[in-house]
Structure 1
Amino acid sequence: MYQIEYSKQSIRVLRRMPTNTAMLIRSRIETVAQDPFAAPGVKKLVGRDGYRLRVGDWRVLYFLDGQRLRVLVTEIGPRGGIYQ
């Protein structure tokens, strides 16, 4: 199982969103930590490193560190502006 690490920006976004949405996103990130390549809603990003996790209208961008077995969550945001 991979460890989960959050960036300061992603923690800030999780704290400001509704509790039920934040809990759903965290549970989906935990699913990714258990098996990063078989989790539903995960795709490799095109044009840059990393992966994205789709949770309803929200997107979670993250990197996998295979050597240290870490999931590094870098950004969480609504679908429209997360890729900019």
Structure 2
Amino acid sequence: MTWRVEFTRQAEKDIERLSTKDQRRILEFLHQRVSEHPNPKALAKRLTATKQEAWRFRVGDYRIIAQFEDSRFVVLVVEVGNRREVYR
């Protein structure tokens, strides 16, 4: 079963601000590794300091904050940013 990757408006803006090299790297990770994995939660770590159930993926110095909609097999990317700034 493949998972569909969707982006919030904020995540789209975050990705647009990155260099094309970093954009390509992040999008390839999401579409090749995460969407094709039978259980993408195995690739992520759960964030404990949030009220909502959020997970993070690590791609180099960047972090992808996402939520899973298990019933629809959707990974919703909420935020993308450098590890120094994304958790603030």
Global fold match (TM > 0.5): yes
* AA of the residue aligned to 1:53: F
DSSP 3-state at the match of 2:57: strand
Scaled by the length of structure 1, the TM-score of the pair is: 0.88
Of the three residues 38, 41, 47, the one matched with 1:37 is 41
Q: Quick one: distance in 1 between partners of 2:41 and 2:11? A: 22
Q: Quick one: distance in 1 between partners of 2:80 and 2:45? A: 15
Q: CA deviation at 1:34?
A: 1.7
Q: Quick one: distance in 1 between partners of 2:4 and 2:22? A: 21
Matched residue count: 82
DSSP 3-state at the match of 2:15: helix
Of the three residues 71, 75, 88, the one matched with 1:71 is 75
* AA of the residue aligned to 1:51: W
* AA of the residue aligned to 1:5: E
TM superposition outliers: structure 1 runs of 4+ over 6 Å: none
Q: Quick one: distance in 2 between partners of 1:59 and 1:52? A: 6
Match of 1:81? Answer: 85
Unaligned runs of 5+ in 2: none
Unaligned runs of 5+ in 1: none
Match of 1:26? Answer: 27
**Identity of counterpart residues, as a percentage?**
29
Match of 1:10? Answer: 11
Question: Mean Cα displacement is larger for which, 45-54 or 57-66?
Answer: 45-54
